[in-house]
Structure 1
């Protein structure tokens, strides 16, 4: 183990056992250099590693502080589509989340990872519905959600309106556009956060986002058999865990 890794491990343990509690400042570089008998460059590299892990936060001209570590949120691997007064929802863990600002609706090029799900080519036009979801009481952002809809199906329809009415876009698809009873599939991945995602979710440097992407398939009408939406939600991966039941095969 390199010297900077040893220093990082010692500081990591000190944070874990509350020698340095959340919200407190760890010693300055020169103090740590003297404590560990190593160069400030070594200390700087160790602290940089703890920053990437989300354990500490450097404050310009203020030192380096131990980050609060909120309780982890359990996301049940839910395979049931449920309804409440607002429409469909896909996990009980998100039922109480609400938009913290009006949704934005734009038409733009389809990202490569989403294009594959929609059966489109990267750059093909899509209607993009962006939402920032969180706790209405505290205003804390919990989840970013974006729906991508093929422009040849959605542009110029109610699906491109900021307010799609009671039940949201899924009720419009099923009842107004005649696309039949919808089917859904989901996939869970992780990736590095974009700058906007890191800002909105208040991510520590280097923390990835947990992505739950759900596709919506029409079963009737002019869109029959097509994937008519890809809904990509992103959360702070350091604060989330996915839990699922294990069934014994008999």
Structure 2
């Protein structure tokens, strides 16, 4: 085992055992060099590993602090679509969220991880709708939501406009465009956060995002049978967890 692995393991065990409680600082680089009788490069590699694991958080000119891990908020595994005065929503836990920044709408190539879901080819254009959602009282960002719509269906329609009116894009799809009733399917996963996601969600180093990818399928009209939207929402995976009931097979 490389020396920096040994140092990282010793520090990891100390954090886990509570020798360095959450919110406190671990020893300085000078102190760790003396403690482990090794080079500063070795110490820095060990601390970088613990940072990537989300155990510690370097503070600019302030040493390295053990990360606090507050109790996670439940994000219920919900298989229903609901409706209120604002339109459709897909979990009781997001009903009270509101935009905390102006939504943006643009057009660009379809991202590689969405191409197959929309049935497109690499490089084909999509309408991209971004929303930053959060707590209306505090303005804290809780969820990032991006919708991808095939440009051959959405460009030049109300779906490409900043304001899609009461009920949003789903009411326009099911109403004026005649694509409804829509069918939806969802997938929950996790992945590394992008730089923008980490900034907006205020993620610590190494913290992934919890993703919910939802596809909307038209059942009528000119788009019948097509996936007309892929919506990807992202949350701080250190703050939220998915819960679901377990039923006994009688």
Distance 1:138 1:27 in 2: 35
Aligned partner of 1:223 in structure 2 is 223
Tell me the SS of whatever aligns to 1:68. coil
2:46 aligned with 1:52, yes or no? no
1:126-184: CA deviation from partner (whole Å, max 9, x where unpaired): 11000111122222222111000111111111111111111111111112211121110
When structure 1 is superposed on structure 2, of 91-100 and 66-75 the one drifting more is: 66-75
Q: Which moved more, 1:117-126 or 1:202-211?
A: 202-211
1:33 aligns with 2:13: no
Gapped regions of structure 2 (runs ≥ 5): none
Q: How big is the alpha-carbon RMSD for the aligned residues of Structure 1 and Structure 2?
A: 1.9
* Alignment of structure 1 residues 185-204 onto 2, 5 Å: 185-204=185-204
List structure 1 segments (4+ residues) > 6 angstroms apart after TM superposition: none
Report SS of the residue matched to 2:113: helix
CA distance in 1, matches of 2:142, 2:10: 32
The farther-off stretch of 226-235 and 134-143 is 134-143
Deviation of 1:5 (Å): 3.5
Question: Against the structure 1 CA distance between its residues 14 and 96, is the aligned structure 2 distance closer, same or farther, given a 3 Å change threshold?
Answer: farther
Q: Residues 225-246 of structure 1, C-alpha deviation per residue, up to 9 Å, x if partnerless? A: 1110000111222333222222
1:174, 1:100 → 2: CA distance?
A: 27
The reply on whether 1:154 has 2:151 as its aligned counterpart is no
**Superposition TM-score, scaled by structure 1 size:** 0.92
Cα 1:15–1:138 shift into 2, 3 Å: farther
Return the alpha-carbon distance in structure 2 between the equivalents of residues 57 and 176 of structure 1.
51
Correspondences of 1:1-250 after superposition (within 5 Å)? 2-250=2-250
Structure 1 segments unaligned to the other structure (5+ residues): none
Count of residue correspondences: 250
Deviations 1:33-89 (A, max 9, x none): 222343333322221111111222223332112233232122211110011221111
SS of structure 2 residue aligned to 1:176: coil
CA distance in 2, matches of 1:188, 1:9: 32
Distance 1:145 1:20 in 2: 37
